Chains A and B, each alone.
Chain A
Amino acid sequence: MKKDPKDQLSNYEYQFIGKPVPRHDAWDKVFGRTKYADDFDMPGMLFGKVLRSSYPAAKILSIDTSGAEKMPGVAAVLTAKDVPNNETVTRFGQTHQVGGFEGLYRVLADKKVRFMGEAVALVAAETEEIAEEALARIKVEYEQLPGVFDPLEAMNPDAYQVGEGDSNIICNYQVRKGDVKEGFSRSHVVVENTYRVPFVEHAFLEPESGIAWIDDSEIITIRVSTQVIEHFRDVADVLGIPHNKVRVIAPMVGGGFGSKEDITVETFLALLTWKTGKPVKMTWTREGSIISSSKRHPYVMKYKTGATRDGKLMAMEAQLISDAGAHVYLSPWVLLYSTVDATGPYDIPNVKVDSYTVLTNNTFTSANRGFGAPQVCFAYESQMDELARRLSLSPLEIRKRNYLRKGDALATGRVLEYGVETEKTAIKALEALGEPSMPSSPTEKIGQGLASGMMSYGRMTFLHDTSRSYVGIELDGSVTVRCGVQDIGGGQASSLASIAAEILGVPMEEIKVFIGDTALTPIAGTTTATRMLYMSGNATLKAATEVKKSLLPKAAEMLEASPEDLVFRDKKVFVRGAPARAIPLADVVKACAADGVQLYNVAQFNAPFRELIDFKTGQGQVFPDFTFGSHAVEVAVDTETGKVRVLKLVACYDVGQAINPLSAEGQIEGGALYGLGYALTEEVILDKGITLTPSFSEYLVPTSVDAPHVKTIMLESRDGAGPFGAKGIGEPSCNSIAPAVANAVANAIGARILDLPLTPEKILRSLQKL
């Protein structure tokens, strides 16, 4: 089934693929010309605001909106009773419903509130100030309930029930391979630790925002910052109108990182515009966003890993418990990623994994760059270094003795059929890290750390993922691509232009990519799961290749050559080996048009379709493929204050084939810094459901002066499932950085910290200075 990437193009060198070109949208962003969601106004528009719960757990006894309704300038005040279908059950997968783990959601809270950020009422008013004041005049009577805030406590059968079901445990998976008892008995060293990772905020620059209006054919149109335009169906279901009466448009998105995968403002906007008949805009404040939007899952991870004297892994047992917060959302799938990735990129003969995700009255958790992979990577890579230390092996050596290789099977039985270059990435990352620096003072300790990781790209195969793309060639030889991708800043649109340019031999600036519009672009699925290049890249490649094929016979006739000998390049068609024999591409197109040849193609790309795996043994295929790589880090630890400075940071990942190396490097650098915040400073702190870090003054994202130089090394195995052998890099790029930092700190101070982030205080405690 795997194609030789060279077959996709005849044997000439790529002209655009793999060439560093500035993205077509870069200057617009630099000069502030890009119109993000909040930059778009309409005459007569209203401003929407959300009233959020005052308690993390409470019964709603009554809501009195009369004070707000009476205010001049208030156009609508909505509560649960005004929503046609307030209760929805979210299933998973846009095209294929797999059932299980269905979550009950209410657009607006009714009966019971489950967390502090829960929406209780909506207001639309002529100004933001009036809307804000109207919220203050809505009187909600609550009866406070005890709530539960610790997932381990919530697992208890007699714990407070967060939802309306009979258990807080949403789901449980198991992986069973071999016999771990036997494996541990044959191990010379067994390392056992419990790791904890915190809630994390996505911290995109652009908070949730959108504007909705009813167009002149009665279509509810929502222009919104989203990773998923296909939520148009969910919005239509809430309103009780046909799906084709709702249109969602995604402009350039100012960062998503997973939090714009779930619905944010869309339904609220649709309800308010539907009720008032007027355009309505809604943009959340940073504080509103941090309090009410999804977070990365905190995990408690018990790991037990055994190895022989030579460092060969014999057994691994893991128990993973994630805090789903107040609603199910994507927690079961995040947990499944963690469960499949729990062994890391290692071949282990005996494996036992038990994983749980549990409801609490904390802010809900859902997708966040890495989707469950970085949590377990922190645990398994910390374990590897602990084993190495006990066995007096180098961190690289123990890993080399255990890395999975192409053709090996994961603990879930899935055979890795594409490139696996983990070992090479680790060697190269360490080489680039070089010799340790000298400490700058007697109280400073220098440490180096390595971590490798694996993470899937492409959605889970039982979701039967598909994407579509339109490629058309105009009479002047310029090219139009229409594809329903959401561009969240990773160059999703630009990479499609590169692919079409390569196949049709048309310069990048003559390719126009239309994106993100459910009415005008073929549906391409979500910009999540590191799937966009893999899925829509392949669809675009397929469509462009079909267009080229339809032009070939006419071109061959015009050039009096055989179709196999033709080369499309520089908006011309050449005969291979005879560069003088060329005709303008536009002439071929015009001749084809005259003959009635179809000048466009809409292609669909289907990922491999599989069925649900066995959740009791974990056996089966969950993902199309994985991206492998390593991070190497050098830190200086101030042993008197506990402060960590990152001196060097090397990221080495196998990207398969960089479509645009500048974009791929941008992803790898961004991923490194994203992971660096996770390692050192970022934590959403909740006290009994109340967020204590609601702004960027308390929630500490690394600033430019905290960022070390990131050295990026891109390996190109050309052996991925994406176009031209590409693999996905968006999420995997942040995977192994936190454990690399933790390993470097442990190397520096001789003590291991099991909880992220590695704050100065934790470091001093581990040095027993506090």
Chain B
Amino acid sequence: MIEAEYVAPSNLGELFKSIEGRAERVKFVAGCTNVLPDLRAQNPAPMLLVDLTGIEELRRIEENNGVISIGSLATMTELAASEIIRTHGPILASAARALGNPLTRNRATIGGNIADASPAADTAPPLLALEATIHTEGASHAKREIPVEEFFIGPNQTVLNQGELITRITFPIPKDPSASSHIKFGLRNAMAISVVSVAVVLEMQGNLCHRARIALGSVAPKPIRAYLTEKELEGRKITEEVLESCAEVVKKEISPITDIRASAQYREHVTGVLLKRALWQAAREGENSTNGNI
């Protein structure tokens, strides 16, 4: 049986007032696409459910001085449709479109997807590749800015303290000329938990990859950046040969498990394949956007 007290604050001031002294019992809820099934399955201790959906200030998607800011309540549908995201973070729009089904996307929020911290969280690889920052606010208005690569600790574990809320997520607009790509690989075309997902952002200088940011989902206990692979790529031209060596290096950075969806061995193989495809797609996109200068 779920025993809970319920509050629905309409702004952050009200929110922190209502949870004062009770932070350890707080469960923040918005879209409820993870929370409700989890609670039904867990038979949890009595809690304080804090409904965030009335807090308008957490909804905004905006651009300020080269930084994109996404309120934690932005839904997948909103992200996928947002002109700002489609222009400056198309890999995030792509991941939002690939999550669940239309019903889920209408409810699921980016804050919830990150806070749930599934190793397969769809928005995590794009946010990692975009070097996003997670902005939080806790009791007595203590604010933190956490780089997304430090945010996840393990499966369903983050650095968030009890009663600490994700307010927004920011990322700098990638420097021009840049190119990006995102691939989610699941066992069906919708409503699938990814077997592997890849997001890459490349900053190009002429035909060289000046800087690479590569992120992967479902191949480690948490969504990860592939730093060694990035090093392998940086300063080089994107050729078949370079892609092959990236596909080899990336296997050293991941630690996939065997589960009902796939074996570790399969995930390892497909990570290489998808990485090559993502890099190739990004390089081709870069090529087009710089009129064939690569």
Interface residues in chain A, defined as those with a beta carbon under 8 Å from any beta carbon in chain B: 129-130, 132-133, 136, 640-641, 643, 681, 685, 692-693, 696-698, 700, 702-706, 759-761, 764, 769-770
Decide if A700 touches B187 in the complex (CB within 8 Å).
Answer: yes
Residues of B within 8 A of A136 (CB): 43
A216–B82 Cα distance when bound, in Å, is: 61
Decide if A693 touches B260 in the complex (CB within 8 Å).
Answer: yes
Residues of B within 8 A of A685 (CB): 260
Interface residues in chain B, defined as those with a beta carbon under 8 Å from any beta carbon in chain A: 1-2, 43, 101, 185, 187-193, 260, 262-263, 265-266, 269-270, 273-274
Decide if A770 touches B187 in the complex (CB within 8 Å).
Answer: no
Decide if B188 touches A700 in the complex (CB within 8 Å).
Answer: yes
Q: Which of B101, B269, B274 is within 8 Å of A770, CB to CB?
A: B269
Q: Which of A703, A759, A769 is within 8 Å of B191, CB to CB?
A: A703
Residues of A within 8 A of B2 (CB): 129
Residues of B within 8 A of A129 (CB): 1-2
A132–B189 Cα distance when bound, in Å, is: 35
Q: Which of A643, A692, A697, A705 is within 8 Å of B190, CB to CB?
A: A705
Q: Which of A641, A681, A693 is within 8 Å of B273, CB to CB?
A: A641
A698–B261 Cα distance when bound, in Å, is: 8
Q: Decide if the interface of chain B is mainly helix, strand, loop or mixed.
A: loop
Decide if B263 touches A132 in the complex (CB within 8 Å).
Answer: no
A696–B269 Cα distance when bound, in Å, is: 26
Residue of A nearest to B100 (CB): A697
**21 A–B contacts, CB within 8 A, in A order:** A130-B1, A136-B43, A641-B274, A643-B185, A685-B260, A692-B260, A693-B260, A696-B191, A702-B188, A703-B101, A703-B188, A703-B190, A703-B191, A706-B189, A706-B190, A760-B266, A760-B270, A764-B266, A764-B269, A769-B269, A770-B266
Residues of B within 8 A of A696 (CB): 191
**Closest beta carbon of chain B to A222's beta carbon, Å:** 27
**Closest beta carbon of chain B to A594's beta carbon, Å:** 60
A136–B42 Cα distance when bound, in Å, is: 12
**Closest beta carbon of chain A to B116's beta carbon, Å:** 14
Residue of B nearest to A639 (CB): B273
Residues of B within 8 A of A760 (CB): 187, 262, 266, 270
**Closest beta carbon of chain B to A567's beta carbon, Å:** 52
A132–B266 Cα distance when bound, in Å, is: 40
Decide if B270 touches A641 in the complex (CB within 8 Å).
Answer: yes
Residue of A nearest to B261 (CB): A698
A245–B158 Cα distance when bound, in Å, is: 60
Decide if A761 touches B189 in the complex (CB within 8 Å).
Answer: no
**Closest beta carbon of chain B to A731's beta carbon, Å:** 24
Decide if B273 touches A640 in the complex (CB within 8 Å).
Answer: yes
Q: Which of A132, A697, A703 is within 8 Å of B193, CB to CB?
A: A697
A640–B275 Cα distance when bound, in Å, is: 12
A692–B273 Cα distance when bound, in Å, is: 28
**Closest beta carbon of chain A to B141's beta carbon, Å:** 37
Residue of B nearest to A702 (CB): B188
Of the candidates A133, A692, A760, the one having the most CB atoms from chain B within 10 angstroms of its own CB is: A760
Residues of B within 8 A of A702 (CB): 188
**Closest beta carbon of chain B to A675's beta carbon, Å:** 16
Closest 7 CB pairs of A and B: A705-B189, A640-B273, A703-B190, A129-B1, A761-B266, A705-B190, A706-B189
A763–B120 Cα distance when bound, in Å, is: 23
A685–B192 Cα distance when bound, in Å, is: 17
A309–B262 Cα distance when bound, in Å, is: 42
A681–B187 Cα distance when bound, in Å, is: 7
Decide if B187 touches A641 in the complex (CB within 8 Å).
Answer: no
Residue of B nearest to A441 (CB): B277
**Closest beta carbon of chain B to A340's beta carbon, Å:** 34
**Closest beta carbon of chain A to B151's beta carbon, Å:** 24
A132–B43 Cα distance when bound, in Å, is: 10
**Closest beta carbon of chain B to A581's beta carbon, Å:** 59
A130–B265 Cα distance when bound, in Å, is: 46
Q: Which of B187, B193, B273 is within 8 Å of A759, CB to CB?
A: B187
With A130-B1, A641-B273, A700-B188 given, can you name 18 additional A-B contacts, CB distance below 8 Å?
Answer: A129-B1, A136-B43, A640-B273, A641-B185, A685-B260, A692-B260, A696-B191, A697-B191, A698-B260, A702-B188, A703-B189, A706-B188, A706-B189, A706-B190, A759-B187, A764-B266, A770-B263, A770-B265
Residue of A nearest to B189 (CB): A705
Residue of B nearest to A645 (CB): B189
Decide if A761 touches B263 in the complex (CB within 8 Å).
Answer: yes
Residues of A within 8 A of B191 (CB): 696-697, 703
Residues of B within 8 A of A770 (CB): 263, 265-266, 269
Residues of A within 8 A of B190 (CB): 703-706
**Closest beta carbon of chain B to A203's beta carbon, Å:** 13
**Closest beta carbon of chain B to A132's beta carbon, Å:** 6
**Closest beta carbon of chain A to B217's beta carbon, Å:** 16
Residues of A within 8 A of B192 (CB): 700
**Closest beta carbon of chain A to B239's beta carbon, Å:** 16
Decide if B269 touches A133 in the complex (CB within 8 Å).
Answer: no
Residues of A within 8 A of B188 (CB): 681, 700, 702-703, 706
Decide if B1 touches A132 in the complex (CB within 8 Å).
Answer: yes
Residues of A within 8 A of B185 (CB): 641, 643
A132–B262 Cα distance when bound, in Å, is: 34
Of the candidates A132, A640, A692, A769, the one having the most CB atoms from chain B within 10 angstroms of its own CB is: A640
Residues of B within 8 A of A693 (CB): 260
Of the candidates A685, A697, A761, A769, the one having the most CB atoms from chain B within 10 angstroms of its own CB is: A761
**Closest beta carbon of chain B to A550's beta carbon, Å:** 54
A681–B188 Cα distance when bound, in Å, is: 8
A641–B197 Cα distance when bound, in Å, is: 13
A641–B278 Cα distance when bound, in Å, is: 14
A129–B192 Cα distance when bound, in Å, is: 30
A640–B247 Cα distance when bound, in Å, is: 13
**Closest beta carbon of chain A to B192's beta carbon, Å:** 7
Residues of B within 8 A of A132 (CB): 1
Residue of B nearest to A677 (CB): B188
Residues of B within 8 A of A705 (CB): 189-190
Of the candidates B101, B188, B190, the one having the most CB atoms from chain A within 10 angstroms of its own CB is: B188
